[in-house]
């Protein structure tokens, strides 16, 4: 059996040797920062129109992260590709032959994927915040204002958890095509639709994307069912369940 540090080095080599995963992380940074900057500039130039009739406080931090949905897509794709490439090429058989302890193998994969996702997410979150605030002009906030640093870190943690959730789902489905076919419609069609339907929107409030976005908000609206801390635990719970499900499938099925 390979040592755990050797497993980590092997997983790191696999990820950085596949260009699609590297480009996906770069895309997550670019689209989140660029769209957030654009929307921050539009908000500054049309502030009175955007705030007409609004009663809630203006959340300058959330405005910076208005483009995070595109970053979510990129992080989901990264989590899927980081796992799914091995299944699509058949390399998973080699990995399992080298590391028969499947739980250990998945732990190594999750640590490398999560660590890389967290690093990129932290850079993305802080660059997006500072760029957005610079473009908001007089409507900006500062990193030292109450709950702002927590919200910026929350954005990074949310993107990381979403990536690991996607990786766990991919292990369960053992196919990157199938995983993308499930995750993308779930997060960007089913969840928004259910959130708008009165009789079922309460259920949608406990989906990982809705919970994760509570972590980014500086101000909690009275209509929100819970705050950032509960959002973190809900999102982390989904991620843990996905990884545990992946571990069970990996142990019970052949490659």
- Domain that residue 214 falls in: 4-47+57-252
pTM attached to this predicted model: 0.92
Q: What is the pLDDT of residues 179-230, one digit of tens each?
A: 999 999 988 888 888 887 877 888 888 999 999 989 998 988 777 888 899 9
The answer to whether residue 165 is domain-embedded is: yes
The answer to whether residue 135 is domain-embedded is: yes
The answer to whether residue 52 is domain-embedded is: no
- Rg of the Cα atoms in the chain: 19
Q: How many domains does the chain have?
A: 1
Angle of helix 102-136 relative to helix 19-45, nearest 10 degrees? 30
Distances in whole angstroms, Cα of residue 60 to Cα of each of 142, 143, 145: 9, 11, 11
pLDDT of residue 1: 57
pLDDT of residue 91: 81
pLDDT of residue 224: 84
Q: Average per-residue pLDDT in the chain? A: 89
């Amino acid at each position: 059996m390979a040592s755990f540090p050797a497993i980590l080095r092997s997983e790191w080599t696999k990820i950085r040797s596949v260009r699609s995963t590297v480009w996906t992380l770069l895309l997550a940074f670019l689209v989140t920062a660029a769209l957030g900057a654009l929307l921050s500039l539009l908000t500054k130039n049309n502030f009175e129109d955007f705030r007409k009739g609004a009663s809630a406080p203006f959340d300058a931090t959330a405005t910076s992260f208005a483009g995070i949905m595109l970053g979510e897509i990129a992080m989901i794709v990264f989590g899927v590709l980081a796992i799914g490439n091995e299944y699509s090429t058949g390399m998973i058989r080699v990995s399992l032959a080298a590391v028969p302890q499947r739980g250990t193998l998945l732990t190594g994969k999750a640590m490398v994927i999560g660590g890389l996702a967290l690093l990129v997410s932290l850079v993305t979150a802080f660059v997006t915040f500072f760029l957005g605030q610079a473009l908001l002009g007089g409507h900006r906030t500062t990193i030292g204002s109450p709950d702002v640093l927590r919200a910026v870190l929350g954005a990074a943690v949310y993107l990381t958890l979403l990536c690991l959730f996607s990786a766990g789902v991919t292990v369960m489905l053992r196919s990157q095509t199938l995983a993308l076919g499930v995750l993308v419609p779930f997060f960007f069609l089913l969840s928004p639709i259910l959130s708008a339907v009165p009789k079922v929107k309460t259920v949608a409030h406990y989906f990982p994307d809705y919970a994760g976005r509570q972590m980014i908000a500086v101000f909690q609206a009275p209509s929100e069912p819970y705050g950032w801390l509960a959002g973190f635990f809900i999102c982390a719970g989904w991620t843990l369940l996905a990884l545990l499900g992946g571990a069970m499938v990996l142990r019970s099925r052949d490659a």
